[in-house]
Amino acid sequence: MAAKNAFYAQSGGVTAVINATACGLIQEARRHPEKIGKVFAGRDGIIGALTEDLIDTSLESDEAIARLRHTPGGAFGSCRYKLKSLEQHRAQYERLIEVFKAHDIGYFFYNGGNDSMDTAWKVSQIAEKMGYPVVCVGVPKTVDNDLPHTDCCPGFGSVAKYVATSIREAGYDVASMARTSTKIFVLEVMGRHAGWITAACGLASESIGEPPHILLFPEVPFDPERFLTRVDECVKQYGYCTVAVSEGLSDAAGKLIAESGTKDAFGHSQLGGVGQIVAQLIKDKLGYKYHWALADYLQRSARHLA
């Protein structure tokens, strides 16, 4: 019996290194032709399966596959598309299995975050129920480092290096001219619920007094009084103060400091702007001139630092 084929799909924001994962997966599959036939990739992620738009990676040379390791973006396209419960989206799950059947696919590798892991699990369940068992493997990817059962997730290391490097460089810049100019620098980084990226900013500080001076985590309710006291201490002691803040910073009641009101395809709130809010708070209460930066997609796509 010929080996079954595999289907690989990328999901969500692609990180600086998701193509390195694709590279490793395809190379390893090529080493085991007795177990895995062709590897198909979904164009624009799982949507590629639902629309039967598959990219046959076996048509690519070993050299082209090797180059994936250093290719930015998502080579096959990704998507934000959540398959909900089996009850709500049964037709789509069934469609998925039909496409898998039509292409003799026995392995499903889903490269994404928690939602994708959940989808991979559901696909394995329905595949079994439909009498066409598929080996479903969730392949971790996230900048947030918030996947259960993983210690350090591909994507996090790259963003960690980016934010730590960035706040160190900007910190030295501010330190150089704080005496007569900007005394406060705030860097807003990703992280709705997990403070790993903000914590990574702390790697820039090798001794007391070095930037960053304050880290604001989504897990720790924002206490404006305590924050302002510490900012003022830093300015008085070091001449300036640098702050890294998670986009998901919330107050004691759990309300986001920067709720922009719009939502993404998964129903998550679209954040952005908390950096300016805490910087302006400093300006209003303490009078210090500030600058702030919003790293946004730059942080997760920074291939040059990955």
| Burial environment of residue 139 by CB neighbours within 10 A (0 to 12, 13 to 18, 19 or more) | buried
CA distance 19 to 42: 13
Exposure on the CB side of residue 125, measured as CA atoms within 13 A: 11
Q: Between 53 and 219, whose beta carbon lies closer to a copy of itself?
A: 53
Chain residues 80-119 in contact with a copy of itself, contact rule CB under 8 A: 80-81
203 binds a copy of itself (CB under 8 A): no
Do residues 231 and 243 lie in contact, with contact meaning Cβ atoms separated by under 8 Å? yes
Q: How far is the CB of 200 from a copy of itself (least distance, A)?
A: 15
139 binds a copy of itself (CB under 8 A): no
38 binds a copy of itself (CB under 8 A): no
Secondary structure class of 213 (helix, strand, coil): coil
Q: How far is the CB of 256 from a copy of itself (least distance, A)?
A: 17
Q: How far is the CB of 187 from a copy of itself (least distance, A)?
A: 8
273 binds a copy of itself (CB under 8 A): yes
Candidate list 61, 85, 180, 207; residue touching a copy of itself; CB under 8 A: 180
CB atoms < 10 A from the CB of 85, how many?
A: 9
Q: How far is the CB of 172 from a copy of itself (least distance, A)?
A: 3
Do residues 240 and 234 lie in contact, with contact meaning Cβ atoms separated by under 8 Å? yes
270 binds a copy of itself (CB under 8 A): yes
Residue 168's contacts (CB-CB under 8 Å, 6 or more residues apart) are 204, 211
201 binds a copy of itself (CB under 8 A): no
Tokens of 130: 């439909």
Active site residue 144: yes
Do residues 21 and 306 lie in contact, with contact meaning Cβ atoms separated by under 8 Å? no
Candidate list 125, 150, 181, 229; residue touching a copy of itself; CB under 8 A: 181
CA distance 274 to 192: 11
246 binds a copy of itself (CB under 8 A): no
Q: How far is the CB of 190 from a copy of itself (least distance, A)?
A: 11
CA distance 182 to 245: 18
What's the Rg (C-alpha) of the chain?
23
Nearest to 221 by CA among 257, 188, 185: 257
- CA distances from residue 149 to 10, 61, 109, 153 in whole angstroms, order as listed: 20, 34, 17, 10
140 binds a copy of itself (CB under 8 A): no
Do residues 222 and 251 lie in contact, with contact meaning Cβ atoms separated by under 8 Å? yes
Candidate list 88, 176, 229, 237; residue touching a copy of itself; CB under 8 A: 176
Active-site pick, 144, 223, 251, 284: 144
166 binds a copy of itself (CB under 8 A): yes
Candidate list 31, 32, 236, 304; residue touching a copy of itself; CB under 8 A: 304
169 binds a copy of itself (CB under 8 A): yes
Nearest to 81 by CA among 70, 69, 95: 95
Candidate list 41, 79, 214, 282; residue touching a copy of itself; CB under 8 A: 79
Active site residues: 144
**Chain residues that interact with a copy of itself, rule: CB under 8 A:** 10, 12-14, 16, 44-45, 47, 72-74, 77-81, 165-166, 168-170, 172-177, 179-181, 185, 187, 262, 264-265, 270, 272-273, 276, 283, 289, 291-298, 300-305
